[in-house]
Amino acid sequence: MPPHIVVFGSLNMDLVIQAPRHPRPGETLTGGPFRTIPGGKGANQAVAAARMGGQVTMIGAVGADGFGDELIANLAAAGVDTSRIDRSPEATGLALITVSESGENTIVLAPGANGTVSARTAWENEDVIAAADALLLQLEVPLSAVLAAVQIAGRHRVPVILNPAPARPLPVELLHHVSYLIPNEHEAALLAGLPTGAGEEATRAAAALREMGVGQVVVTLGERGALVYDVPGTSESAWHVASFPVQAVDTTAAGDAFLAAFAVALTEGKPPAEAARWGCAAGALACTVLGAQPSLPTRAAVEEMMHKEPVVLLTSLAPAGKMRNVCMLRETHG
């Protein structure tokens, strides 16, 4: 039986232009062609989890408009159950995205229908959340809705995996319900009230977040891989999981691909450091194609990437963030 993954969150139509670089304030640049591409952190995670082999249900809202139709059709084509997506009187959420030649993006959101997702939406879907093997969330819908969804998950002992993006301070009552918090370095530092920087700061931020009541913390480090903090059953404080080198075309949705692959691997019983390796492979592959949902890899592509480098480099970090030793583990593929 594939794991049942429920995603509670946003759906956006991404309005994308590639440009040689990002414009400065007041500057006009000429870019490439304009594209509309299905996106939204929630919908991206749902599509990614389905392509990784999960049985996925999406909870969220789109407008009663053409973009809403397109987003639902794209999710359905990936095999996601879309029956829990509301049609709101607000317009479908939009994301204005500029992608530079180096593959980096800037994003401005118009939440639209995502803003109508509420605590009531969560309670109306208690049955599907209760039956999940994991609940995946992000922060593109109102915090009150996110809080209700994680409380419902807690009530039914469903593991909660939260990507705290876009970054914003979070109440401790929410963090207490999070089994796995998966921020990037910037988000980790903001949540922990610390400066961002190299691996050491990520370790410190992860430690602070654990102190605030989060179950486990996995900090994504972009092309440097991921930091898995405080792995139960080991004496180590943190593991650094190496990533896969790729030629980045567009980093949009790399974090969503990581989270979904991590969630599927974890719910299949893989330990967190190995699940993070799946996440790194999915995230790296998502950077090689323009756009959010078109770039999300299949399980076969992720497995092929990991087979190319079957030996995993796990670097154990001492509590102070200093590298202590390096061990090589042979990857297992289920």
12 is an interface residue for ligand RIB by CB under 6 A: yes
3-state secondary structure (DSSP) of residue 125 = coil
What are the φ/ψ torsions at residue 85 (nearest 5 degrees)? Answer: -95, 120
Please report how close the Cβ of residue 255 comes to ligand RIB at its closest, in angstroms: 6
- Mutual orientation of helices 299-308 and 272-286 as an angle, nearest 10°? 110
Decide if 261 contacts 52 (C-beta within 8 A): yes
Q: Is 256 a catalytic residue?
A: yes
Of 33-41, 56-64, 141-149, 260-268: span binding ligand RIB (CB under 6 A): 33-41
The 231-270 site mask, x for binding ligand RIB (CB under 6 A), equals ---------------------xx-xx--------------
According to CB under 6 A, which residues from 128 to 147 bind ligand RIB?
A: 140
Q: Which residues contact 249 (CB under 8 A, 6 or more apart)?
A: 103, 287, 288, 289, 290
Query: Can residue 315 be called a binding residue for ligand RIB (CB under 6 A)?
Result: no
CB of 66 vs ligand RIB, minimal distance in Å: 17
- Cα–Cα distance between 118 and 265 in angstroms, integer? 29
Q: Which residues contact 162 (CB under 8 A, 6 or more apart)?
A: 136, 137, 138, 146, 150, 178, 180, 181, 182
Q: Which is nearer to ligand RIB, 141 or 242 (CB)?
A: 141
The reply to whether 107 sits near ligand RIB by the rule CB under 6 A is yes
DSSP states along 180-205? EE--BHHHHHHHHT----SHHHHHHH
Q: How far is the CB of 145 from ligand RIB (least distance, A)?
A: 16
Cα separation, 62 vs 70, in Å, equals 10
Contacts with ligand RIB: how many residues (CB under 6 A)?
15
Verify binding: residue 74, ligand RIB, rule CB under 6 A: no
Q: Report, in Å, the least distance between residue 14 CB and ligand RIB.
A: 5
Nearer to ligand RIB by Cβ, of 187 and 256: the residue is: 256
Q: Which is nearer to ligand RIB, 44 or 151 (CB)?
A: 44
For residue 36, the SS3 value is strand
For the segment 195-234, give every residue that binds ligand RIB (CB under 6 A).
none
Q: Which is nearer to ligand RIB, 42 or 271 (CB)?
A: 42
The window from 40-48, 182-190, 216-224, 315-323 that contacts ligand RIB (CB under 6 A) reads: 40-48
Look up residue 300 and give its two tokens: 């076969």
Give, in degrees to the nearest 5, the angle at Cα 61 between 58 and 62: 115
Among 7, 95, 263, 275, binds ligand RIB (CB under 6 A): 95
Q: ∠ at Cα 268 (265, 269), nearest 5°?
A: 95
Q: Which residues are catalytic?
A: 256
List interacting residues with ligand RIB (CB under 6 A): 10, 12, 14, 39-41, 44, 95, 107, 140, 252-253, 255-256, 292
